[in-house]
Structure 1
Amino acid sequence: MSQKSDRRQAREAVAAYHEAELAGLVARVAEAVDRFRSGELKAFDVDEVLFQYSRAAKELWKFCNIGNVQVTAGQLLGAPPIDWWERGTPRRARRSVDDVPTSELE
């Protein structure tokens, strides 16, 4: 195979991955909007989901679009799946109880 064809295949693989992962993030937003419409969530709850979506989508975009596309495509093979939704969680919310000093828990 030529380098040109390898790059094209890598771009196609990364683009397909990006679209599939983005669809999963959009589905979370759709679920929150549906729950808002049914009265299950408040507007502020949906706003938090939208904020997390925005952060997650940016992280996904950076992964798929910054750097060498062939390296990115290679990372998709055999690597553990990345939880983009979790990557969109604000850093302070990611801290687990184990990370919080004991003095803050009391």
Structure 2
Amino acid sequence: MSSKADRKTAREAVATYHEAQLAALVERVGAAVDGFRDGQLDALEVDQVLLQYSRAAKELWKFCNAGDVESVATAVREQLPLDWWERGAPRARR
């Protein structure tokens, strides 16, 4: 079993990762809103971005809060190539 200090370090690593990844997702929303204000995107296109953001943020949250914090911290340290934006993309309809 790991020490209390190890778990605290793991929680901090996961929290830092979560915040950085969330900031990247928010940047996409900001770019879409700016595009709407500039007339490059319409309201429906921005709505799609907001929907994808919501789904991506939920997937990120689930990853960061799933099970053992030390396992998640290890995955974060190993920098698994997880594209949260893509994970929030709508599924193709059949």
TM-score by length of 2: 0.93
Q: Secondary structure at the match of 1:56?
A: helix
User: Any unmatched runs of 5+ in structure 2?
Assistant: none
- In our comparison, the structure showing a higher alpha carbon Rg is 1
Whole-Å Cα distance in 2 between the matches of residues 19 and 4 of structure 1?
A: 23
**1:56 alignment counterpart:** 56
How many angstroms does 1:29 deviate by? 0.1
Map of 1:76 onto structure 2: 76
Question: How many Å apart are 1:88 and its aligned residue?
Answer: 0.2
1-structure distance, mates of 2:78, 2:91 = 27
Higher RCO structure (Cα 8 Å, ≥6 apart): 2
Aligned equivalents of 1:80 and 1:7: distance in 2?
A: 20
The share of aligned pairs that are identical, in percent, is 62
**In 2, distance between residues paired with 1:53 and 1:63?**
15
Separation of aligned partners in 1, 2:80 and 2:63: 14
Extract structure 1 runs of 4+ deviating beyond 6 A. none
Q: TM-score, normalised by structure 1?
A: 0.83
Report the number of matched residues: 93
List alignment gaps of at least 5 residues for structure 1: 94-99, 101-106
